[in-house]
Chains A and B, each alone.
Chain A
Amino acid sequence: MTPTPELRFFSDIEFPDQYYGVLIRSSIQRGHLVDIKSPALPDGYYLYSATDIPGENRLSAMGTTIPVFTPFEIQYYGEPLGIIVGPDLDVVLELVSEVLIETETLEPFQFGEQFSSSQVVGKRVLLSGDPDAAFSCDGRVFESTSEIGPQDHYYAEPLGVNVNVARGKLEIFTATQWPFHVRSTVSAVLDLDPCEIRVVPTATGESLDGKVWFPSLLAAQAALASVLCKKPVKIAFSRQEDFLFSVKSAPVQIRYRTVVADDGVIDAISARILINAGAYSPLIDEIVDRMTLAATGLYMARSYRVETFALKTNLPPMGALSGWGEGQVLFALETHLARVISERGYSPTEWKMMNLNVAGHDAPIDADMVKGARFAELFSAICAKSDYLRKYSAYERLNHARKDYRDGPLRGIGLVCGFQGNGFAGTRVGTSSYSVEITMETDGRVSIGCGLNSESMRQVITSIAANSLGIEESLISFTGINTDTMPATGPDTLSSKVSILAPLVEKCCATIQRQRFRHPLPITVKKSWKPSAQGYPFVSITPAVVACELELDPVTYDARIRGIWVATDAGKLYNRHAALTTIKKTIPIALSKMIAEHIVIKDGKIAPKQSVQYEILSPSEQPESDVIFIDSESDPKGIGSISLNLIPAAYAAALGQITGRQITKVPVDAESLYEFFESQEEAK
């Protein structure tokens, strides 16, 4: 079966004699599985667990292994222990609710400053100079600790998979960002040759990196059941099940200490980053790498130390959310520096320009990546559009002169600078190469095979090819709809691939252009890219500056956004509308993360803080925003994470200007601002 426009989503696909699978889950946070007592199963209903797995009972991703069905050690509440399948979903659900699970409970791992070495699943330390010497010397040490809670990806279609046997192969339909990982996982679990498995990726929509490896786990569970019961098996999470048990963004605690010399230069900066990796976190090495490198932003410091620890706890799997943790670190860094700037009375733009590492000093981020970044133009564009400098000064005076919070409008404007890291070049990824194959046919039509791509990426690639070859976009189509026909690639992670793919497409088209009038058609050209040996996690950065202006309602403590401005150097823009859409559509997503998406964790269970279901901000609440792309002829760069990386920090910086204190928790809500103002009143 081939997905069609009508059957683009796995949840729409139904096979004759379809069976439905529901997972049996643990009822404790940590412990041992003693027994699974099944209810009497009617004919045609089956229960499978770890003992039924013919191959390896594990999913492997980037050095981490996760059991498909845990055989003994339970690591989080809701961990899959088995599956019941049958022809009627309602009956299957009822049977699952009747399963009795016998367990022995163990004390769960906690997350915090005190942790044992056995909890550490990822670690990286960078050191340059002697920051301790700077901290012990005179001078004010600024210190702050930020906490960013877990958040959900909230993609449109909840997770799921449908597995069938067709045309002599095991066919797996699932929305995945990494179809080849699905194939290799199922191959290992079922002890099948990969060529006996065909993965047909269905539409992911905006996955926010929530469908990188988790679909592989579901695919293995469904494929096992399908092979054993000899029926097509579908697992489809409801929204609530997806929320409770799928990957969340890893909660983080980040402590910064900074000393700024009298000349305004950062003398020393130290960051201690603790990542709650949950029970499993396959992407943790990449996350640790990227967070560590992002810890000092694009700034230079005379000395620095960054220590990042990823800690295992007994929570559901934790991972990336639209980026690899740079956003959380940049939030903590920029809000910390905003406080430093405010207390020292610096001009934010001047101070930032002075401390950006454009001179190529030793810093976690490769200095060559920063050197080319046109921050002067970015700052200038933002300041012009938003009137930042005048507003910042005016609001500083207003807020400092205020007698109480009802005295005058409560306004602030925050400005932050940062980046998005492009490409996915983790050292642990086995197949992180990317390739593009373009064929020009005799009738002038062009087909492009470049792995899995989002709609906006396809628009960009189409524009590049049309432009390079001088043909209409309607003559261009994409090939490679499953793992039999598409080139093996690493994960499709949002837009960060554009830095890799765009040059490959350009090169292929340039070769075709050279050959097409001298050689007969069809002509096929293939170009590939592999990560460089040193394994730096990204191949380039997209620099950006963001400003956010807020007004706080003194009655309800709600913040109203007066404006958002984003300036970035995105490289050559082949499709300006697609680029604008990418930034603008991610603005409400970023704001939602900052103010609306609250998860609380109690006894290892996650739940929405204030309502029955996890709620996000409606995109209709997108505020007025200005996006500025500075003209550039450099290779296209990814921009899909810019908003998420920097808008929360800019929002928090604006709030910080209003309240006079650093906002250190994400999400931030009206109630926490009320508590702050109350404490100020009481202190008087």
Chain B
Amino acid sequence: MIIPFELNGNMVYIDSNPGERLVHILRRRFNLLTAKEGCLSGRCGSCMVLLDGKPVPSCIVPVFQIRNSSIVTLEHFSATPEYHDVMEGFANAGVSMCGFCDAGKIFIAHAIVSSETRMSKDEIKAMFAGNMCRCTNVDDLVAGVKNAIALRRKRTNAK
């Protein structure tokens, strides 16, 4: 089955079995390795990508679903100022990151930072329900997100 979609800003076409998981397509066909193969059930966050702008675990997306959609992986996102807001926020809060589920933490943090809704600490924690990170203390994650929000505000106000 031919499936056209936008990948990191470029239109691409693949011929694939429709049930192949998106995470495998990204890793094997495009060598995009920031989406990792973790739980294969959408729970751990290691495979997260932005699908039409929304953070989504790519392991539960059969590739036929992404027809004409936009996919952004961490490789591409890492060149954006939004990424740097999150990473600096995390660094200032001492968030530990071994690297395996970085995509999940970063994309969810980005979603929170970009959200127009002001979230409480518990709401921010709940947003990380799909990140089975055992490297870091979730309090640091929450602090990291709050730092990132402040950095984003500062950057956008400076403009």
**In this complex, what residue of A is CB-closest to B33?**
A12
Is the C-beta of B136 less than 8 angstroms from some C-beta in chain A? yes
How many residues of A are counted as interface, with CB atoms below 8 angstroms from the partner's CB atoms? Answer: 39
Q: Are A156 and B128 in contact (CB under 8 A)?
A: no
Instruction: Give Cα A613–Cα B133 distance, bound, in whole angstroms.
Output: 17
Is the C-beta of A11 less than 8 angstroms from some C-beta in chain B? yes
Q: Are A577 and B94 in contact (CB under 8 A)?
A: yes
Q: Are A6 and B134 in contact (CB under 8 A)?
A: no
A5-B99, A9-B36, A157-B38 known; A205-B132 Cβ under 8 A: no
Q: Which residues of chain A have C-beta atoms less than 8 A from B101's C-beta?
A: 156
| Interface mask (A582-594 → B, CB under 8 Å = 1, otherwise 0) | 0011001100000
Instruction: Give Cα A222–Cα B44 distance, bound, in whole angstroms.
Output: 27
Q: Are A585 and B40 in contact (CB under 8 A)?
A: no
Chain B, 104-159, CB within 8 A of any chain A CB: 125-140
Chain B, 89-106, CB within 8 A of any chain A CB: 94, 96, 98-101
Q: Which residues of chain B have C-beta atoms less than 8 A from A620's C-beta?
A: 125-129, 131, 138
Q: Are A11 and B37 in contact (CB under 8 A)?
A: yes
The smallest C-beta distance from A615 to any residue of chain B, in angstroms, reads 7
Is the C-beta of A38 less than 8 angstroms from some C-beta in chain B? no
Q: Which residues of chain A have C-beta atoms less than 8 A from B73's C-beta?
A: none
**In this complex, what residue of A is CB-closest to B17?**
A90
The smallest C-beta distance from B19 to any residue of chain A, in angstroms, reads 12
Is the C-beta of B11 less than 8 angstroms from some C-beta in chain A? no
Is the C-beta of B58 less than 8 angstroms from some C-beta in chain A? no
**In this complex, what residue of B is CB-closest to A8?**
B99
Is the C-beta of A239 less than 8 angstroms from some C-beta in chain B? yes
The smallest C-beta distance from A612 to any residue of chain B, in angstroms, reads 8
The dominant DSSP class at the B interface is loop
Which of A156, A208, A618 has a CB less than 8 Å from the CB of B38?
A156
Q: Are A455 and B36 in contact (CB under 8 A)?
A: no
Q: Which residues of chain A have C-beta atoms less than 8 A from B54's C-beta?
A: none
The smallest C-beta distance from A276 to any residue of chain B, in angstroms, reads 25
Q: Which residues of chain B have C-beta atoms less than 8 A from A5's C-beta?
A: 99
Q: Which residues of chain B have C-beta atoms less than 8 A from A238's C-beta?
A: 37, 40
Q: Are A615 and B137 in contact (CB under 8 A)?
A: no
Q: Are B39 and A584 in contact (CB under 8 A)?
A: no
A156-B44, A157-B36 known; A581-B96 Cβ under 8 A: yes
Q: Are B135 and A157 in contact (CB under 8 A)?
A: no
Q: Are B94 and A613 in contact (CB under 8 A)?
A: no
A206-B135, A589-B134, A620-B128 known; A6-B33 Cβ under 8 A: yes
Is the C-beta of B43 less than 8 angstroms from some C-beta in chain A? yes
Is the C-beta of A619 less than 8 angstroms from some C-beta in chain B? yes
Q: Which residues of chain A have C-beta atoms less than 8 A from B140's C-beta?
A: 581
Instruction: Give Cα A8–Cα B36 distance, bound, in whole angstroms.
Output: 12
Is the C-beta of A622 less than 8 angstroms from some C-beta in chain B? yes
The smallest C-beta distance from B104 to any residue of chain A, in angstroms, reads 10
A156-B44, A206-B135 known; A456-B96 Cβ under 8 A: yes
Q: Are A619 and B44 in contact (CB under 8 A)?
A: no
Q: Which residues of chain A have C-beta atoms less than 8 A from B125's C-beta?
A: 620, 622
Q: B36, B37, B137, B140: which has the most chain A beta carbons within 10 Å?
A: B137
Q: Which residues of chain A have C-beta atoms less than 8 A from B126's C-beta?
A: 620
Q: Are B36 and A581 in contact (CB under 8 A)?
A: no
Instruction: Give Cα A158–Cα B99 distance, bound, in whole angstroms.
Output: 14
The smallest C-beta distance from B136 to any residue of chain A, in angstroms, reads 6
**What is the count of residue pairs linking A and B with beta-carbon distances less than 8 angstroms?**
105
The dominant DSSP class at the A interface is loop
Q: Are B96 and A205 in contact (CB under 8 A)?
A: no
Instruction: Give Cα A203–Cα B100 distance, bound, in whole angstroms.
Output: 9
Chain A, 194-215, CB within 8 A of any chain B CB: 203, 205-206, 208
The smallest C-beta distance from B36 to any residue of chain A, in angstroms, reads 7
Q: Which residues of chain B have C-beta atoms less than 8 A from A157's C-beta?
A: 36, 38, 100
Is the C-beta of A616 less than 8 angstroms from some C-beta in chain B? yes
How many residues of B are counted as interface, with CB atoms below 8 angstroms from the partner's CB atoms? Answer: 33
Instruction: Give Cα A595–Cα B25 distance, bound, in whole angstroms.
Output: 36
Q: Are A618 and B128 in contact (CB under 8 A)?
A: yes
Q: Which residues of chain B have C-beta atoms less than 8 A from A154's C-beta?
A: 132, 134
Is the C-beta of A128 less than 8 angstroms from some C-beta in chain B? no
Q: Are B98 and A206 in contact (CB under 8 A)?
A: yes
Q: Which residues of chain A have C-beta atoms less than 8 A from B99's C-beta?
A: 5, 8-9, 203, 205
Q: Are A239 and B33 in contact (CB under 8 A)?
A: no
Is the C-beta of B65 less than 8 angstroms from some C-beta in chain A? no
Is the C-beta of A240 less than 8 angstroms from some C-beta in chain B? yes
The smallest C-beta distance from B120 to any residue of chain A, in angstroms, reads 13
Q: Are A618 and B137 in contact (CB under 8 A)?
A: no
Instruction: Give Cα A156–Cα B38 distance, bound, in whole angstroms.
Output: 6
| Interface mask (A149-181 → B, CB under 8 Å = 1, otherwise 0) | 000001111100000000000000000000000
A11-B37, A239-B39 known; A619-B134 Cβ under 8 A: yes
**In this complex, what residue of B is CB-closest to A5?**
B99
Is the C-beta of B41 less than 8 angstroms from some C-beta in chain A? yes
Q: Are B134 and A585 in contact (CB under 8 A)?
A: yes
Instruction: Give Cα A348–Cα B21 distance, bound, in whole angstroms.
Output: 54
**In this complex, what residue of B is CB-closest to A6?**
B33
Is the C-beta of A265 less than 8 angstroms from some C-beta in chain B? no
Is the C-beta of A369 less than 8 angstroms from some C-beta in chain B? no
Instruction: Give Cα A584–Cα B95 distance, bound, in whole angstroms.
Output: 12
Instruction: Give Cα A11–Cα B24 distance, bound, in whole angstroms.
Output: 12
Q: Are B100 and A581 in contact (CB under 8 A)?
A: no
Is the C-beta of A190 less than 8 angstroms from some C-beta in chain B? no
A11-B36, A239-B40, A615-B43 known; A205-B138 Cβ under 8 A: no
Q: Which residues of chain A have C-beta atoms less than 8 A from B100's C-beta?
A: 9, 156-157, 203, 205
The smallest C-beta distance from B18 to any residue of chain A, in angstroms, reads 14
Is the C-beta of A580 less than 8 angstroms from some C-beta in chain B? yes
Q: Are A585 and B43 in contact (CB under 8 A)?
A: no
Chain A, 1-46, CB within 8 A of any chain B CB: 5-9, 11-12, 14
Chain A, 213-256, CB within 8 A of any chain B CB: 236, 238-240
Instruction: Give Cα A157–Cα B36 distance, bound, in whole angstroms.
Output: 8
| Interface mask (A480-517 → B, CB under 8 Å = 1, otherwise 0) | 00000000000000000000000000000000000000
Instruction: Give Cα A327–Cα B47 distance, bound, in whole angstroms.
Output: 33
Instruction: Give Cα A12–Cα B31 distance, bound, in whole angstroms.
Output: 9
The smallest C-beta distance from A92 to any residue of chain B, in angstroms, reads 14
Q: Which residues of chain A have C-beta atoms less than 8 A from B39's C-beta?
A: 239, 613
Q: Are A205 and B134 in contact (CB under 8 A)?
A: yes
Known: A585-B135, A618-B129; 15 extra A-B contacts, CB below 8 A, are A6-B33, A8-B99, A154-B134, A156-B134, A156-B135, A206-B98, A239-B40, A581-B136, A584-B137, A585-B96, A585-B134, A618-B128, A619-B133, A619-B138, A622-B125
Residues of B at under 8 Å CB distance from A?
31, 33, 36-41, 43-44, 46, 94, 96, 98-101, 125-140
A-B pairs, top 7 by smallest CB distance, nearest first, are: A584-B137, A156-B100, A206-B134, A205-B98, A12-B33, A620-B128, A581-B137
30 A-B interface contacts by CB (under 8 A)? A5-B99, A9-B99, A11-B37, A156-B36, A156-B38, A156-B44, A156-B100, A156-B101, A157-B36, A158-B37, A158-B38, A203-B100, A205-B135, A206-B134, A208-B134, A239-B40, A455-B98, A455-B135, A456-B96, A580-B137, A581-B136, A585-B96, A585-B134, A585-B136, A585-B138, A618-B43, A618-B132, A619-B133, A620-B126, A620-B127
